[in-house]
Every structure is written in structure tokens, then in C-alpha cells.
Amino acid sequence: MEPRARYVIAAALLLVLIGIGFRVWRLDGSVFSSDEAVATQHVAGISERDVIAAFSKRDGVRAHEAGAFALGGSPRGPRDVVATLAAEDPQHPPLFYVLAHGWRAFFGSSIAASRALPALLGLLGIAAAGALCALVTRSAIGGWSGAALFALSPFQVVYAQEVREYSLFATLTLLSTALLIASLRRPTVLLLVAYAAASVAGLYTFTMFLLVLAAHGTILVLRRPERGTVRRVALAMVAAVVCWIPWIAILVERRGLIASTNDWSGVRWSPLALAAKWLFNGATSFFDLTYLDARWAPASLMVLFVLALALFALRRAAPDARAVVVSLMLWSFGSLALIDLAGGGHRSTVARYVVPAFCALTVAVAAWVSVAWSAKRPALALGSALALCLAGIVSLSVRSTHTVWWDNAKEGGIPSIAAAIDSARLPVLVTNVNWPIMANLARYARTDPSFVLVDTDRVAVALAAKGRAFVVTTSPASRHALEANTTLRARAVFVSSTTSAPVALFRRRMLAEQRSAQDDAAVDDAGATLFLVGAPPLAHR
């Protein structure tokens, strides 16, 4: 290996180590989100009905029970995890949740412990990205470049620090694609079995992995290996889908539930709005501070320009690299975009749905670096790749100082509300059946208060036995009802600030165009309000 290659690989290794550091640093630094609370409920193997029943009891549940979903009853096991997901949320297959269930048994249910599993899966994703890029470029430079780019992708780091399945989705996308490429070159039984196993794992991680398998079929068509290889690889794909049939049956049976819980993604956006969000998402693969402040837009444009150069350079890249990038982009993003343009909806703008497309962008940049290196003109490609890595470092450094990110700002008040609850040591009533925010408040409470779910019109009844209590609401209608009730004399103790992040404003505008003002207020609320409520008049501060 020539000396200059060693320098490039050493620099890439340093960048990888920085990316690893961002994944494992401050795992409990950002506020636990409502989506993570729902995921943790599934990990615990407890149905939502049982959660609501327990949280609605007259005496409620203590904070230590609510935060960890330790609600008594018979012990829950992996079968309960699978059964709960099948009944309530079948669009999320059970592999990640079963893994997290076992992880929780060993390491506990704290925020850091819960997020350590997706962080570990994200670290494996770095290795898988490096392996895939090395395979398709047939170059160590390409492999290390891909590993560094994936390691410092803000998008990948954010999901590697959330208790959800998307870091595993990315890792299995990269791993299965690498095994496919290896099988096309040398279709041994071991490689084919490993490919089939990775594909089964992907299907049982996220339903959108079916589009990854479609991309793999397209890679077969584009690469045109010999017939024997095609038959063997196709048999491995079919075997993976056959193993997924039990969950396919559940998806078919629960299709009505899936449609009702995803009706939000079917709201029609204009082609201009779709295009704007596509570009916005594409830039966040390596720079996401524009989520925080629109004045960072020039840096996002730089990222988009570099990605455009990398995609243009694919015409000179190795055939395997072209096939992988084109196929993953075509199926994971292109198919959803076509559906949105033709039939309405905005599924293609939901970044977690198009994780494989983000992986494909990493491969494209690594392939460009490899081609430029082979052509002895690496300055532009290497400089551009380094610029993307530095953009990722800046984004991740700024994010590390914030407790909320992207459009989760409405949940930023949870620690402050919990602190106010701790200071007064009163029971807490939570309205609107919003048990996720209740579970998250319980995680941050330090004095183990009791939490009870109540309807807004039942607050007075609940107070009859308690005298005074805090009431947490996330609904504007509930907030106004409490403020207008002169008998209760509710006083706002803490009001979550309205987020002005560009992504939240964009999302709010899209909702406003499609929904009535009343519906929009119910769907897109700014955050939680904490009231101190009691039947006797309360002294004003």
C-alpha cells in the first residue's frame, strides 16, 4: 500500500472513532420522546389497554412503576412482546423489540441503558457500511471512506440514540446488500445462508425492508450473473420471504388497523412541498442544523451539491456500486415518491421510511472517492468527502448541547415539568389519555409521585379525594377548559414554549393547508402545560 493511502485510511479511522464517540456519548442527554415511550411499552410486552387501565386506577401508579412499565401481573416474556405488536402495531415487526426485551432484562430500563442497544446496532452499521463500500468499489479507500461517512451521518447518529428499530434497519440493509454482492461473486452455501438470514432479520425489523429485497432483485437484473448464481440467490430471497409469511398473515389480518394509524401519511402535499422536503431530507444525511435554524441553509445546499457530484460520478464507478446505489434509491425512495405524486400522500418525505436511500448516498460518495483515487485525481472527491464529514461533526457537536432535536421540541419541557412536580410533592393528573407523556414524566421525576390518567371533565371528581394536584395537559381544548373552570381555579405553573424550528413550521403549514383549524390545533400542539389545580381558591404568586 502506497504511503498516501495509509494517511487517508488513518484519517478515516480517526473520523470513525469520532463517530463512535458521538453514538455512545450522552445517551441520556436528549429528552426521552413519546415515540420512545411507546416503543418501551412494546419492549415490556404490555398492551396499551393494560397500560391505560393501570394508569387510570383511582390511586394511579408511582413514578418508578410508570417509567419502567413495571405494572405488576404475570411476568412478560418475548411471546408477550410479539403478541402485543401483532395486536396493536403490526407495521413494526418484533425483532428489535424482542432483542430490546432481553437487553432490558440484563441492563435495566434506564434511559441510557435502553438507548445503548440501538447505539450498539449503530456501531455494527459502521462496520457494515465499510464492508459494503469496500466490496462494491473493490478498494480499501472506498471502504474506509464509506465507514467514515456513515459514522458521522447526523441522520444515522440520531436514530442510533433512539429506542426504535431504525438503526437496526440501516445495519441490516447494509449487511444484507454486502452479503448479496459477495454471493454474486462466489455463491457458496455459507454466504447464501448468511444472506437469507440477514434478509429474514431485515423483514422482521421493519416492513419497508421489502423494498430492499426488491432493490436486491434489481441488482440481480443489472449485474446479470450466470444462471446458476441467479437461481441460488433468488432461492435465498424466496426463502427469506417464506420465513416472513407468518407476519405477512398478521399484516393482512390487521390491515384496517395499519391504515387507520397511518392515515396521517396519506395527507396530500403539493409537488412543490414534496420536492422541498425531499431536498431537505437529503441534506440531513450529512448536515441537519437547518432543522434548528434556516440560516444554515447554505451549508445544506453545499451538501446537496456534493451529493449531486457523487451521483453524477457514478457513471464512472464500478458496476456493483452503480447497481447498489441506483437500486436502493429507486425502490426505497423512488417508489414512495411515485406513489405520493400519483396517488397523494407524503410517505416519501418521512425520513425513517427511506433509510436505505440514505445508505445509498453513503455508497455513492465512497464510490466517487474510489474512482477519483484510481484516476490519480482525488483532490476534489476527497475534499468533498472530508467536507461532508466535517459538516456532520459540526451538526453532531451542536446537537450534543440540546435536549431535543428535529421536530421533538414540543417535548422539551418534560424535565422542567418533572422538576416542578418534585418540588411540590403533589399527585399528578394527566388528561387526554396521553399515557406516553405520563410515562416520560415519571422517568424524570425524582420524588416518586403518583400519576393518574383522567378525562378533562373528570378532573373535579378526581380532586375530591386529593384536594390539590397537578394537572398535565397537551390539548388546547383541555387547556382552555381548565382555565375557564372558575370552580377549579387552575393556575398554569409551566407552559412548554412553542417551537419555531423550520421543520416544525413547515410541518404545521402543511397540516394547516389540509386540515381545519380545529383539527390542526388538536394534531399539532406545541407541548404540555402544567397546572396547579384545587377546589379551594389558590393564592396567586
Query: 136-184: per-residue pLDDT in tens?
Result: 999 999 999 999 999 999 999 999 999 999 999 999 999 999 999 999 9
3-class DSSP state for residue 493? strand
CA–CA dist 89, 55 (Å, integer): 20
pTM, two decimal places = 0.93
Give the span between the Cα atoms of 265 and 259, in whole angstroms: 10
Task: Give the strand pairing for 529-534 and 468-473.
Answer: antiparallel
What pLDDT does residue 518 have?
39
pLDDT digits (tens, 9 = 90+) for 217-264: 999 999 988 999 999 999 999 999 999 999 999 999 999 999 888 888
Per-residue pLDDT at 541: 41
Query: d(Cα 331, Cα 358) in Å, to the nearest integer?
Result: 12
Q: Are strands 428-430 and 468-473 parallel, antiparallel or unpaired?
A: parallel
Give the C-alpha separation, 16 to 21, whole Å. Answer: 9
Question: In which region does residue 306 sit, left (phi positive, over 0), alpha (psi from -120 to 50) or beta (all else)?
Answer: alpha
- The reported pLDDT for the residue numbered 412 is 84
How confident is the model at residue 522, as a pLDDT? 40
Amino acid at 74: S
Residues of the chain with pLDDT under 70: 1, 407, 498-526, 535-541
DSSP H helices, 244-377, are: 245-253, 255-261, 271-283, 297-312, 319-328, 335-343, 355-374
Residue 524 in contact with residue 471, Cβ under 8 Å? no
In a 10 Å sphere around its CB, with 0-12 CB exposed, 13-18 middle and 19+ buried, how is residue 205 labelled? buried
Question: Which grid coordinates are listed for 412?
Answer: 422539551
Cβ atoms 47, 88 nearer than 8 A: yes
Q: What grid cell was written down for 342?
A: 400519483
**Per-chain mean pLDDT for the chain:** 90
Among residues 363, 400, 170, 384, which one has the least CA distance to residue 289? Answer: 400
> Grid coordinates representing 532?
396547579
